[in-house]
């Protein structure tokens, strides 16, 4: 492998001069030698050794993307879109992305340190560990969808509360007053909790109540669904906290002989590309995942490059996308 020294020798200068040229250090090298060196670099196929660079300059140009550790995290379209989007953006800014899966903060800390990563973005929740992560690591950390009470935490999220409200209002406007909720565990996930809160609030404004017996888990259990539908006054609509869940629900309802939206309406959350191609196309609360990914990547990089950059809590807007899975009962 060609090293700095090889280029230096070939050009008849010191290694430092070559280093300066390669790193575009302004005005320390004459235009003449600069061109000569660049020519040799290209000719001999020199590529800087990032490890060596990282070791001596104390900056790796590496950013970790950290997800929870259960199975294949990119199985979920949301994670895949975020990860791919961030990687793409980082590469444009000449950073490389390193993927890690981890559950506990000690493992994360070990991983971050081993490559002396410049910064990290977290997908998913390390709620109880956030404080420790901040304490143990002096590098910029960016969380996503976190509702931590710890101040001074970089975060990129969306307005989940409003998302819940929008879903509720849309259902109400279409004449639904008996409504069920299906989603992740609100106690465990602050994201779900906020969507649920907003949802309840907007329902409450029209005196519609969401009872606990109308709240289903996102594992989409056929029996549970049947039980809800057999209530004295069965729900005419479901709000699912994720499109994936909504799609599974539509399928489950169908297998019970219930048509969406004719017999029952469904509204989802996320606006994944695939819900446009489902049958029926899903009405859903849209978040801009591409933009979220870019903002998260941009935020870590800004924090890395400018140590005085202020901590940010970015909250993106959400909006209703109307398709064909909600029936208008008033019509």
Partner DNA sequence: GCTGATAGGTATATCGGTAACCTAACTTGC
Partner DNA sequence: GCAAGTTAGGTTACCGATATACCTATCAGC
Closest CB to a copy of itself among residues 101, 313: 101
Under the binding rule (CB under 8 A), the answer on residue 132 touching a copy of itself is no
State the minimum distance, in angstroms, from the CB of residue 18 to DNA: 8
E strands, the chain, in order:
62-67, 96-101, 119-122, 141-144, 154-158, 179-183, 215-217, 237-240, 265-270, 283-286, 313-316, 319-321
Under the binding rule (CB under 7 A), the answer on residue 138 touching DNA is no
Under the binding rule (CB under 8 A), the answer on residue 75 touching a copy of itself is yes
Whole-number Å distance between alpha carbons of 118 and 191: 28
Query: Tokens standing for 297?
Result: 């990547």
307 exposed, middle or buried (CB, 10 Å; 0-12, 13-18, 19+)? exposed
Which range in 8-16, 233-241, 251-259, 276-284 contacts DNA by CB under 7 A? 8-16
Under the binding rule (CB under 8 A), the answer on residue 47 touching a copy of itself is yes
User: Torsion over CA of 39, 41, 43 and 47, rounded to 10 degrees?
Assistant: -150
Which range in 8-16, 66-74, 155-163, 226-234 contacts a copy of itself by CB under 8 A? 66-74
**244-256 b/e (C-beta count within 10 Å ≥ 16 → b):** bbbbbbbebbeee
The dihedral sign for the CA sequence 72, 142, 53, 107: negative
Q: Using CB under 7 A, which residues numbered 45 to 64 contact DNA?
A: 46-49, 52-53, 55-58
Show the CA angle centred on residue 188, arms to residues 113 and 87, nearest 5°. 40
Under the binding rule (CB under 8 A), the answer on residue 87 touching a copy of itself is yes
Under the binding rule (CB under 7 A), the answer on residue 38 touching DNA is no
State the minimum distance, in angstroms, from the CB of residue 253 to a copy of itself: 11
Distance set, CA 46 to CA 17, 35, 191, 228 (Å): 15, 15, 48, 67
Under the binding rule (CB under 7 A), the answer on residue 19 touching DNA is yes
Under the binding rule (CB under 8 A), the answer on residue 110 touching a copy of itself is yes
Under the binding rule (CB under 8 A), the answer on residue 128 touching a copy of itself is no
What does 313 bind: DNA, a copy of itself, none (CB cut-off 5 to 8 Å by kind)?
none
State the minimum distance, in angstroms, from the CB of residue 300 to DNA: 20
Query: Tokens standing for 54?
Result: 């990282």
State the minimum distance, in angstroms, from the CB of residue 288 to a copy of itself: 13
Q: Which residues contact 295 (CB under 8 A, 6 or more apart)?
A: 156, 314, 316
What does 30 bind: a copy of itself, DNA, none (CB cut-off 5 to 8 Å by kind)?
DNA
Q: How many residues bind a copy of itself (CB under 8 A)?
A: 53
DSSP 3-state helix, strand, coil percentages of the chain (rounded to 5)?
45, 15, 40
State the minimum distance, in angstroms, from the CB of residue 149 to a copy of itself: 27
Single out the residue of 32, 42, 212, 230 in contact with DNA (rule: CB under 7 A): 32
User: What are 266's strand-pairing partners?
Assistant: 238
DSSP 268-305: EEE--GGGGSSSSPPEEEE--HHHHHHHHHHHHHHHHH
State the minimum distance, in angstroms, from the CB of residue 99 to DNA: 22
Q: Give the distance from CA 103 to its chain's centroid.
A: 17
State the minimum distance, in angstroms, from the CB of residue 138 to DNA: 13
What does 323 bind: DNA, a copy of itself, none (CB cut-off 5 to 8 Å by kind)?
none
Q: Which residues bind a copy of itself (CB under 8 A)?
A: 1, 45, 47-52, 54-55, 60, 71-75, 77, 79-81, 83-85, 87-88, 91, 96-101, 109-110, 113-116, 247-248, 250-251, 254, 273-274, 276-281, 290, 293
| Binding footprint of DNA on the chain (CB under 7 A) | 1, 3-5, 12-17, 19, 22-23, 27-34, 46-49, 52-53, 55-58
């Amino acid at each position: 492998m060609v090293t700095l020294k090889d280029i230096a020798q070939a050009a008849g200068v010191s290694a430092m001069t070559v280093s300066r040229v390669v790193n575009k250090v302004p005005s320390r090298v004459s235009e003449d030698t600069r061109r000569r060196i660049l020519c040799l670099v290209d000719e001999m196929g020199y590529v800087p050794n990032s490890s060596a660079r990282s070791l001596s300059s104390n900056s790796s140009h590496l950013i970790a993307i950290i997800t929870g550790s259960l199975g294949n995290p990119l199985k979920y379209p949301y994670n895949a879109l975020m990860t791919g989007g961030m990687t793409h953006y980082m590469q444009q800014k000449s950073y490389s992305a390193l993927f890690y899966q981890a559950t506990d903060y000690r493992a994360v800390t070990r991983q971050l340190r081993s490559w002396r990563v410049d910064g990290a973005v977290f997908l998913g929740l390390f709620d109880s560990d956030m404080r420790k992560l901040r304490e143990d690591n002096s590098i910029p950390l960016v969380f996503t969808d976190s509702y931590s009470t710890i101040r001074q935490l970089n975060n990129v999220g969306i307005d989940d509360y409003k998302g819940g409200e929008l879903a509720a209002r849309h259902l109400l406007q279409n004449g639904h007053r008996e409504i069920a909720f299906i989603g992740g565990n609100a106690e465990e996930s602050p994201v779900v909790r906020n969507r649920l809160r907003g949802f309840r609030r907007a329902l409450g404004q029209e005196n519609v109540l969401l009872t606990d017996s109308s709240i289903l888990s996102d594992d989409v259990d056929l029996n549970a669904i049947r039980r809800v539908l057999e209530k004295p006054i069965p729900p005419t609509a479901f709000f699912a906290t994720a499109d994936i869940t909504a799609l599974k629900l539509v399928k489950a309802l169908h297998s019970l002989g219930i048509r969406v939206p004719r017999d029952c309406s469904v509204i989802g959350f996320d606006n994944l590309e695939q819900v446009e191609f489902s049958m029926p196309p899903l009405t859903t609360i849209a978040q801009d995942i591409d933009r979220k990914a870019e903002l998260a990547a941009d935020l870590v990089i800004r924090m890395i490059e400018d140590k005085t950059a202020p901590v940010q809590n970015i909250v993106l807007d959400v909006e209703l996308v109307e398709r064909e899975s909600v029936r208008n009962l008033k019509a």
